[in-house]
Amino acid sequence: MAEKQVLLIFIQADSGVDGASHLDSAMVKRNVFSSLKDAAMSNIIRRAQFAIPPLSLMILSSRKVQGVSQSICDLRFEKLPLDRHWDMAGISVQTGAVKPAFELARLLRSKGIRVVLGGPYVTVFPDRCREHGDALVIGEADDIWEEVQRDLLAGHLKPEYRVETYPDLGIDRPVSKNALDIPSYFTTNVVQTTRGCPYNCDFCNVHVMNGHRLRHRSIGSVVKEVETFLKEDKRIFFFLDDTVNADEAYAEKLFTELIPYGISWVGQATTALGEKPKLLEAFSRSGCGALLIGIESLADRSNHAHQKFHNPAARQSACIRNIREAGICVYGSFIYGLDGDSLDMPAMLEEFIEETGVDVPGINLLRPIPGTAVFDRLAAEGRLIPDPYDHDAFRFSWAQEMLYIPKSVPLKQFIPSYTAMTERVFTVPNALRRAMKAPRLRSAVLMFNLLYVHMYSMARKDLGRQLESLA
């Protein structure tokens, strides 16, 4: 019997890190030159910024069942291979890119291909997905995916596969890159060491999808994976954990063991790292070049209003300085517009960025993502601008539109205060200055800062149009 062919698909979002482009572009007045420039920039952003493969689909394609062959199609970089025969397609659905995912599902089903939907949106909103797929997988699919493949072989796919308990990450499940087109990516070395988040930030739903308890992989299995990955791809490693220092003892042991491999890596951490000299040393010596740190607000009242308590304002600045002094670049991620923020926040942010030397600042607008506590609260308070039922309206974009009404600053004052700040922070001279001062990875710091000059300028135009529409 011929092998069953399964295609795993990652969707390209319309904007955001997948290649920022103007929202509602038909309404933007542009000449041929600026249209071409925007298209070229969008392509550069997609290929240069976070061009890493989806770990979810690498994990699924590594779960082998005899009689089934799996391939990955990442629509950010590849065309849909409809010239080949497929028995089943699995689509990873992220909140905010639901519309293109459902459209694709419709197309594939019209060609007789069975469609299985999984991923964050399916886990949080299964009822909205049911009619769009032949089967849904609700939850982390690491183990249940084998059952789905066996049911495909037997010819009786069930309409729903629900993962009742979070997979035990302590079990060794080797991840293979066989289904990937390695040259398409900036790097294919993506590794996750833990899952779950003990915190409760109300603008995030990682704890809803992955639970509050931190689950660890064994250190031996991570080290073995790094060793295997290095044989196929010598480029930089991305540790995808939401907080790579969440369990400090585990992280210190793991990264100390990775020192001999001489890798270069980036990840996401909390400011608390700046107060742990031994852990910082292990990070630095194991090749950590940069960390994304979710600082969000510089005011405790604002962070607390969003259930973020693990980042006390009084310690932020010293922590960031310590991390940079250990030779690690800081991508500082801020949110302006939290409940508790007032019009004095932009000046505070600018001063903080200057004083601490944050290498790449990212100043975001709060994004109420459906399925988060802040979304429900803003909806209950009547502060969401689009219809809360219309999840497509909460599309991914790059600080290009306000989706809610700030608590204490009228929108008509809030938008200009934000755009004036990004105009001052994201300039070419500032990009050059930050790159010169970066402790490592200077060309990457320059590239990010220059891309942000473009992306925030585009965001200002879109926000300007939103402001006009309010008048």
Site residues for ligand SF4 per CB under 6 A: 197, 199-201, 204, 206-207, 242-243, 294
Determine the Cα–Cα distance for residues 348 and 359; give it in Å rounded to an integer: 17
Among 42, 56, 297, 303, binds ligand B12 (CB under 6 A): 56
Using rule CB under 6 A, residue 401 touches ligand B12: no
Q: Based on CB atoms, which residue is closest to ligand B12, 54 or 357?
A: 54
Smallest separation (angstroms) from ligand B12 to the CB of 53: 7
Q: Kind of pairing, strands 329-336 and 360-365?
A: parallel
Q: Based on CB atoms, which residue is closest to ligand B12, 211 or 340?
A: 211
Binding mask 107-146 for ligand B12 (x = CB under 6 A): ---------x-xxxx-x-------------x--xxx--x-
Q: Based on CB atoms, which residue is closest to ligand B12, 163 or 348?
A: 163
Determine the Cα–Cα distance for residues 242 and 293; give it in Å rounded to an integer: 10
199 binds, among ligand B12, ligand SF4, none (CB under 5 to 8 A by kind): ligand SF4
Q: Where are the beta strands (DSSP E) in 197-305?
A: 215-216, 237-239, 265-269, 288-296
Element of type H or E holding 328: none
207 binds, among ligand B12, ligand SF4, none (CB under 5 to 8 A by kind): ligand SF4
97 binds, among ligand B12, ligand SF4, none (CB under 5 to 8 A by kind): ligand B12
Task: Determine contact, residues 155/134, Cβ cutoff 8 Å.
Answer: no
Pick the stretch among 48-56, 61-69, 178-186, 405-413 that binds ligand B12 (CB under 6 A).
48-56
Among 50, 343, 410, 428, binds ligand B12 (CB under 6 A): 50
Helix axes 277-285, 313-325, angle to 10 degrees: 40
Of residues 188 through 227, those in contact with ligand B12 by CB under 6 A are 192, 204-206, 210
Among 21, 42, 92, 245, binds ligand B12 (CB under 6 A): 92
Of residues 308 through 367, those in contact with ligand B12 by CB under 6 A are none
Of residues 7 through 46, those in contact with ligand B12 by CB under 6 A are 11-13, 16-18
Q: What residue has token string 């997609």?
A: 46
- Is the CA virtual torsion 303, 304, 310, 311 positive or negative? positive
Determine the Cα–Cα distance for residues 201 and 400; give it in Å rounded to an integer: 22
Q: Kind of pairing, strands 88-92 and 4-10?
A: parallel
Task: Determine contact, residues 198/216, Cβ cutoff 8 Å.
Answer: no
Q: Based on CB atoms, which residue is closest to ligand B12, 175 or 319?
A: 175
Give the total of residues touching ligand B12 (CB under 6 A).
41
Q: Based on CB atoms, which residue is closest to ligand B12, 357 or 401?
A: 401
User: Is residue 188 helix, strand or coil?
Assistant: coil
Identify which of 307, 321, 333 has the alpha carbon closest to the alpha carbon of residue 275: 321
Identify which of 303, 296, 306, 357 has the alpha carbon closest to the alpha carbon of residue 328: 357
289 binds, among ligand B12, ligand SF4, none (CB under 5 to 8 A by kind): none
Determine the Cα–Cα distance for residues 293 and 358; give it in Å rounded to an integer: 10
The strands making up 68-74's β-sheet, listed across from edge to edge, are 68-74, 4-10, 88-92, 114-118, 135-138, 160-162
Smallest separation (angstroms) from ligand SF4 to the CB of 306: 9
Residue 250: partners with Cβ closer than 8 Å, 6 or more residues away: 193, 194, 216, 219
Smallest separation (angstroms) from ligand SF4 to the CB of 198: 7
Smallest separation (angstroms) from ligand SF4 to the CB of 367: 12
Determine the Cα–Cα distance for residues 45 and 363; give it in Å rounded to an integer: 17
Using rule CB under 6 A, residue 96 touches ligand B12: yes
Smallest separation (angstroms) from ligand SF4 to the CB of 434: 24
Task: Determine contact, residues 146/138, Cβ cutoff 8 Å.
Answer: no
Smallest separation (angstroms) from ligand B12 to the CB of 236: 14
Using rule CB under 6 A, residue 369 touches ligand B12: yes
Q: Based on CB atoms, which residue is closest to ligand B12, 241 or 359?
A: 241
User: Binding residues for ligand B12, per CB under 6 A?
Assistant: 11-13, 16-18, 50, 52, 54-56, 59-60, 90-92, 94-97, 116, 118-121, 123, 137, 140-142, 145, 192, 204-206, 210, 240, 242, 369, 371, 396
